[in-house]
Amino acid sequence: MSAFNMSVDVNQNGNMKNADSSFTVDDIDDIDFSKLLEKPRPLNIDRLRSLDERSLTELTGSPQLRNADNASRAQDHSEYVISPSVGKRSGFNTPRSLHGFESHPMVGEAWDALRRSMVYFRGQPVGTIAAVDNSEEKLNYDQVFVRDFVPSALAFLMNGEPDIVKNFILKTLRLQSWEKKIDRFQLGEGVMPASFKVFHDPVRNHETLIADFGESAIGRVAPVDSGFWWIILLRAYTKSTGDSSLADMPECQKGIRLILSLCLSEGFDTFPTLLCADGCCMIDRRMGVYGYPIEIQALFFMALRCALLLLKHDGEGKEMVEQIVKRLHALSYHMRSYFWLDLKQLNDIYRYKTEEYSHTAVNKFNVIPDSLPEWVFDFMPAHGGFFIGNVSPARMDFRWFALGNCIAILSSLATPEQSTAIMDLIESRWEELVGEMPLKVCYPAIESHEWRIVTGCDPKNTRWSYHNGGSWPVLLWLLTAACIKTGRPQIARRAIEVAEARLHKDHWPEYYDGKVGRYVGKQSRKNQTWSIAGYLVAKMMLEDPSHVGMVSLEEDKQMKPVMRRSNSWTC
């Protein structure tokens, strides 16, 4: 988590005032957002069910799914659908859920807790704060974080309450548009904030927004993932409501282009992956994820695919679309070829020769076989596989990272075969990855001398704690979505049952410590909002698997992996 003290204010004439590198965002808009804040009108468009939804219907056998009114969006966004839950309430103020499943007593408590976390700006809900824990110093847990709000937003969308999501998208878009400086350096125009908070001036009786772009973050790292989550959430909103007017708005179109322009610009890169600093994503402290972390690459891939559906194919949009298509093909090939690890690939790396020069090299990154960690040989099951944490010259990080692998499934970065293998791995290594609280953010923990070198002796990231092998309940929604997409809902159901035994009793902790997640984290906040929202989203997805469509993309057949690798460039 990070905090921020930049501010910009707007005077009564609408002119922006800038003091040093600080700004407060006054909500005086040059465009009329009021119409966009009205409830979207449901579209009345018939559509054929998508392949994903057919498989989900067959999987659940739910008559509600079979009889649901399936509609698609016309024109360039034909894949959008209207969620059958619009205007309904799932598991809230009702003794039973919509589809006949018995509602767990925790569901009502979770909704109450989620609503207590809501943040209002000038009378309108604009997000949820990170945690409602008055027993600890607030630090920056009283802010609305972009990544943290995603599961909250999905919960509200699934519950037929899109207004708070629309407000959030518009406010963060507005924050993106201001000049951003850290010390004497100006950040890229497309950078999205990590978080924001509402500041109330009691003297002037006036509210402003204060945003964080990395000014006070640990290590002063800008949030690379915020922009990707924003695009993914915009697509989820459009998919859920059938309302394309928000995404089609010129300001949103520009916002998408600005975010992706930061990633698609030409440079010295020889790989299609994004080079990042440590601490630029959910793992926001030094944890050895610098380079090309799987979490960022998977989110980048998903954001590119969502942008392809959201961008208008005219003018500047058309040029951006062409860049996206090229990058998607290169990125999918690179990730599927070099980040994927299964038993066969592990054996191949074990037998690698080194110091190969020329286009015929097999060990393209000159990875030294002796650098393979001992644990990975026992961890790898006979049937299963996963995308490893990082690949760069002479370095492969073999750790398992949950978020990156789940997003790889949902975005179809993983092929159907790879997606199945990831699920096989989770089932085979249940005690290690799920244990007594789902889900390990990464596995295994680093310790002893390696911990001192990699984390700089970080007292928060000791072994099996926090980002270093801690168990994070928020990941339950990602696991559930991935399970449903791959036709393995029983895995999600089992994980949810494990979480239900403890989460509410322990007051919704941020994370758990220990090798199997047995202990509430030593610095874990209670009433952590995304732990609450992650549980709700997981429950609603199991009740109505069509909700998964908000965060799931079907495989693009044009990006099917080629069975041979190109070994050289030709001039």
DSSP-derived secondary structure for 88-105: --SSSSSSB-TTSPBPPH
DSSP 398: E
Contact yes or no for 242/258 (Cβ under 8 A): no
Cβ burial, residue 327 (10 Å; 0-12/13-18/19+) = middle
Q: Which of 20, 459, 10, 455 is nearest to 215 (CA)?
A: 20
Q: Which of 22, 26, 5, 6 is nearest to 14 (CA)?
A: 26
DSSP 336: I
**pLDDT for the residue numbered 214:** 84
Contact yes or no for 450/469 (Cβ under 8 A): no
Contact yes or no for 545/65 (Cβ under 8 A): yes
Block mean pLDDT (10 aa), the chain, length 571: 41 37 40 41 34 37 36 36 36 41 84 98 97 84 96 98 98 89 86 95 93 81 94 98 97 97 91 94 94 98 98 91 97 97 97 86 90 97 97 95 98 98 98 98 97 96 97 98 98 98 97 98 97 98 98 84 41 33
Is domain 241-550 classified as CATH 1.50.10.10? Answer: yes
- Burial state string for 391-413 with b = 16 or more CB within 10 A and e = fewer than 16: bbeeebbbbbbbbbbbbbbbbbb
**pLDDT for the residue numbered 484:** 98
**pLDDT for the residue numbered 560:** 61
**pLDDT for the residue numbered 561:** 53
Cα separation, 308 vs 302, whole angstroms: 10
**pLDDT for the residue numbered 102:** 52
Q: Where are the domains of the chain?
A: 241-550
Cα separation, 145 vs 419, whole angstroms: 29
How many angstroms separate the Cα of 405 from the Cα of each of 257, 308, 368? 26, 22, 25
Residues 6+ apart with CB under 8 A from 154: 236, 477, 533, 537, 547, 550, 551
How many angstroms separate the Cα of 394 from the Cα of each of 252, 276, 356, 359? 40, 17, 12, 17
How many angstroms separate the Cα of 349 from the Cα of each of 171, 366, 396? 48, 10, 10
pTM, two decimal places: 0.83
Q: Which of 555, 561, 542 is nearest to 52 (CA)?
A: 555
